[in-house]
Structure 1
Amino acid sequence: MRTSDAAMITAQKAAHAVPRVSIALTKSGASDATYKAGYGTATENRIIEIAHVEEEFSQRASVVLHNRDKVLTTDLSGYKAFLTWGMVDASGADNVTGAKCAPLWVVDKQDHSSQGELLSTLTLWGIPDLLAFNFAQDYYWQDSSSDWKVKRLIQAVVGGILPPAFDGWAQAYSTTFDSEDQLMDSFAPAELFEVNLRDNALSKLRELLGWTKSVTRGENDTNMHFLVPIHSHDTWEAARKYEL
């Protein structure tokens, strides 16, 4: 779970907060790159604009980089990216504790110009969005004797090993169950669960989660996390008046 420290929280509340925003790009067999917004070396300081959304079933970003020196020539498609939303804390240090976001992958890079400025715009998707573009290549169904529990089916769908194979974005993901409700590893949907031709993996994942009290959450370790949400509230007492 991503947790900010006290210095980060204080920096976020400061009247004159100074952000430290960056994107780190990696790909096996290729050179890594890190770009920043308003700080760093001339080569690093490239971020012009970021639009970033993190939701339970969607994590997307659009990052605009300046390319006035014409050095951004690499095809970044398939690169894994981590956005970091840090702050300068009271000590003057760059504090990124808990600021690293869920992983994204570059699905598109567009080079263009605007008002005389050469720009490169990266479109990035997270794990749920990529699962939405994994489509079943055949039918799959279970009979009433199947003992595959919801947890095992989730692992198979997210891990790309459920027959038939899902074909689309060629990537399998690991799962981490931070907490589980009693249905996750006890209920076997049997013939109630099936996959039809061209069903996408995200829709089947959401269907499986519907049989539990669990949710999924984006973390910064490239796994898809599942947990039972904790609800905290005051204890209600009888014969008392409450105003909401």
Structure 2
Amino acid sequence: MLAAQKAGGDVIYKAVFTKPGETTRAYSHDTTNRQLPSTTTESDWLQNADVIVDNRDDGNLTDLDLTGFQCVVSLGYNTGVARAVWQASNAYSLKDVVTPTTLTGQQFICTTAGTSHSSEPTFPTDLGVTVTETGGVVWTNDGNTGDEYSPMAPLKVIAQSGETRQDEARVTFACAGLANQMEQDEASVEFSQDELSVSTVKTLIGNLTDSVASFAPFSHTEVISTSYGDEDGLIDTYKPKETYHVSSGASRASTVQGLLGLSRMVPRFEDDGNLHIDILVSGDADTWTASTAYIVGDTVIPTTPNDNVYKCTTAGTSDSSEPTFPTTEGQTVNDNTVVWTLTYDFQYNSDDGEHQFWETSSRKRLVIPNKSTYKSHPSHIPQFSGSATDATDFAKLPLETFHQVRLESNAQGAELATAEIARVRADAEQSALHSPPNVGQEVWDLVRITDNWDATGKVTIANVRAIERSYGPGLFETTLRFGFGPAMAPLGISNPGIGADTDTFEADVAATLDAVIGALNNIIAVVNKNTLGTRITQGAIVRILSRLTALEQGGGLTNLDDLTVKKLTVTDLFQGTAEEL
């Protein structure tokens, strides 16, 4: 599929709507009710999609109500990849793809693993429909033979609207993801810990996700399966103790976000419907240093920079002398007990034959704050303190932040400070990329952009923080945003609207929403101060972001009153009451 993306072929797409006990509905580029140009957007804690379907020929969507259905949007290419024929009494794993023994031009993906029956099932002919074999294997109609899809995280249909005009009728399904749902989940009661608590950050996150049924503030919310990848040294050792507090009305998303803020871990919502938490593999890497302990996920650049970042894939202590770092992706080098790998989640390049882009922009921004200190509260005995600094930007404009927390050592304070500086540095990398579609790109991916249109052959290495995809007949594009701050315009190329007659007022409204969302994002960064109890009060702002984004992406914008923030003060934000729009 990577080769198909580089070649710039036509994207295939589908949206499958399911709900237990209800008829599955699916719309794609070649179904009777075909998908029209649609959009998806995702960032750390927001997931939205507008799936727009043609309703012109038969009007059979007019009385259809899919609100509450799960929607999975998938993008891909027909690569012509060969598919195996179904076999009896054969072990199948998730995502295995087969064709019936009598070829029908369709393929089927395994969505529940197991061993097939001795007799072939009757495979369904409608996209997205499933069949369960005796023995438990479940097959889902995956489209035409040779299709390769990359599914996005599941969403829920939260609104459905119809629109008709001369020679045109369509239905828009506005969808939101698990991240948005978590933001709407509010604590029913207050919760506090004392200084004797031994719960780690990871345990406290578990109380909000896998074990939420037994955690009183959020016991009314649904269980969320969580999995961890590579971990830092804080997630499973740091104990917030009495600094962890959940206010009545606090959102589940902002509470998890506050806990993750006490580590170098970041969230990702994936196609299995689960919350995945992994270490931040930063594009803003430190310079390699000798005789230093490194953990998996750390990144460095050589002392003589070479436009590459190297990821620690085996933890250990570096050598007293610098290794010779490779320049070919995928290669590794041993550094005493550390192993460094040159690896990116994806690369973009302006040259022919690569995954090209149409344009890119970048903005240098100081790391603010550029020094962080975590120290014990004056009442704590014994006293500990630790700091971390972005030396380059501290020398330009020293800006410090201080946190009073419960610490067990000076080293723990330094580790907390280092994690904060790493997150702030990732936020400061503000740039954007507008390109042909990348169907598998994910938030927090580490990407490398080579811009040979620039006379210097500029290279940017950064973490993806937001993805906007537009797709449909004649429309295939991706806009990536790096860093955390004001929403950047799509670089002078406006995203094509669904109708050709989008008027100036609508464009002005969209621009206004972008500006408000960008401003509130900046406020969140400023509010991120002191104790965890203060951090989770960011929920009020995130709720505003969620609602504004829902307005912008999901329709529902019927009059100017919908845009009016009636009362918003700093006090409201800290008390978590600024919700009314």
The TM-score, its normalising length taken from structure 2, stands at: 0.37
Tell me the secondary structure at the aligned position of residue 164 of structure 1: helix
What is the alpha-carbon distance in structure 1 between the residues aligned to residue 237 and residue 301 of structure 2?
Answer: 31
Tell me the secondary structure at the aligned position of residue 276 of structure 2: strand
More helix, by proportion: 2
Out of 257, 269, 276, the position equivalent to 1:225 is 276
Q: In the TM superposition, what are the counterparts of 1:6-85 in structure 2 within 5 Å?
A: 8-15=1-8, 17-37=9-29, 39=30, 41-42=31-32, 45-68=33-56, 69-72=58-61, 73-85=63-75
> 1:26, CA displacement in angstroms?
1.2
> 1:158, CA displacement in angstroms?
2.8
Task: Note if contact 1:57-1:129 (Cα within 8 Å) is conserved in structure 2.
Answer: yes
Are residues 1:136 and 2:191 paired?
A: no
> 1:81, CA displacement in angstroms?
1.4
Out of 237, 246, 254, the position equivalent to 1:195 is 246
What is the alpha-carbon distance in structure 2 between the residues aligned to residue 13 and residue 87 of structure 1?
Answer: 11
Out of 109, 113, 118, the position equivalent to 2:164 is 113
Change (3 A) 1:9 1:208: same
Change (3 A) 1:171 1:115: farther
What is the alpha-carbon distance in structure 1 between the residues aligned to residue 219 and residue 168 of structure 2?
Answer: 41
Task: Note if contact 1:166-1:201 (Cα within 8 Å) is conserved in structure 2.
Answer: no
Out of 165, 173, 176, the position equivalent to 2:224 is 173
Q: Deviations over 1:129-173 (max 9, x none)?
A: 111111112211111111221112112223443321266xx5331
Change (3 A) 1:219 1:145: same
> 1:75, CA displacement in angstroms?
1.9
Tell me the secondary structure at the aligned position of residue 208 of structure 1: helix
What is the alpha-carbon distance in structure 2 between the residues aligned to residue 14 and residue 176 of structure 1?
Answer: 35
> 1:63, CA displacement in angstroms?
1.0
What is the alpha-carbon distance in structure 2 between the residues aligned to residue 233 and residue 117 of structure 1?
Answer: 54
Letter in 1 for 2:218: A
Task: Note if contact 1:134-1:166 (Cα within 8 Å) is conserved in structure 2.
Answer: no
Tell me the secondary structure at the aligned position of residue 37 of structure 2: strand
Change (3 A) 1:116 1:198: farther
Report what 2:260 is aligned to. 209
Are residues 1:235 and 2:302 paired?
A: yes
Question: Could you tell which deviates more after superposition, 150-159 or 225-234?
Answer: 225-234
What is the alpha-carbon distance in structure 1 between the residues aligned to residue 64 and residue 199 of structure 2?
Answer: 44
Report what 1:164 is aligned to. 217
Report what 2:380 is aligned to. none
What is the alpha-carbon distance in structure 1 between the residues aligned to residue 197 and residue 246 of structure 2?
Answer: 15
> 1:202, CA displacement in angstroms?
0.9
Q: Deviations over 1:81-116 (max 9, x none)?
A: 1111101226693222xx111111111111232344
What is the alpha-carbon distance in structure 1 between the residues aligned to residue 165 and residue 198 of structure 2?
Answer: 58
Task: Note if contact 2:218-2:252 (Cα within 8 Å) is conserved in structure 1.
Answer: no
Tell me the secondary structure at the aligned position of residue 151 of structure 2: coil
Tell me the secondary structure at the aligned position of residue 47 of structure 1: coil
What is the alpha-carbon distance in structure 2 between the residues aligned to residue 184 and residue 115 of structure 1?
Answer: 57
Tell me the secondary structure at the aligned position of residue 135 of structure 1: coil
CA root-mean-square deviation: 2.3
Task: Note if contact 2:189-2:248 (Cα within 8 Å) is conserved in structure 1.
Answer: yes
What is the alpha-carbon distance in structure 2 between the residues aligned to residue 115 and residue 193 of structure 1?
Answer: 58
> 1:80, CA displacement in angstroms?
1.3
Letter in 2 for 1:111: G
Task: Note if contact 1:86-1:94 (Cα within 8 Å) is conserved in structure 2.
Answer: yes
The TM-score, its normalising length taken from structure 1, stands at: 0.84
Tell me the secondary structure at the aligned position of residue 205 of structure 1: helix
> 1:32, CA displacement in angstroms?
1.3
What is the alpha-carbon distance in structure 2 between the residues aligned to residue 13 and residue 94 of structure 1?
Answer: 17
Q: Deviations over 1:49-101 (max 9, x none)?
A: 211012121111111112221222332122111111101226693222xx111
- Which consecutive unaligned segments of at least 5 residues does structure 2 have? 82-144, 283-298, 307-455, 459-581
* Greater relative CO (CA pairs within 8 A, separation 6+): 1
What is the alpha-carbon distance in structure 2 between the residues aligned to residue 56 and residue 188 of structure 1?
Answer: 24
Task: Note if contact 1:135-1:199 (Cα within 8 Å) is conserved in structure 2.
Answer: yes
What is the alpha-carbon distance in structure 1 between the residues aligned to residue 158 and residue 199 of structure 2?
Answer: 34
What is the alpha-carbon distance in structure 2 between the residues aligned to residue 130 and residue 202 of structure 1?
Answer: 8
What is the alpha-carbon distance in structure 2 between the residues aligned to residue 207 and residue 127 of structure 1?
Answer: 17
Task: Note if contact 1:11-1:90 (Cα within 8 Å) is conserved in structure 2.
Answer: no
Letter in 2 for 1:53: T
Which has the greater radius of gyration? 2
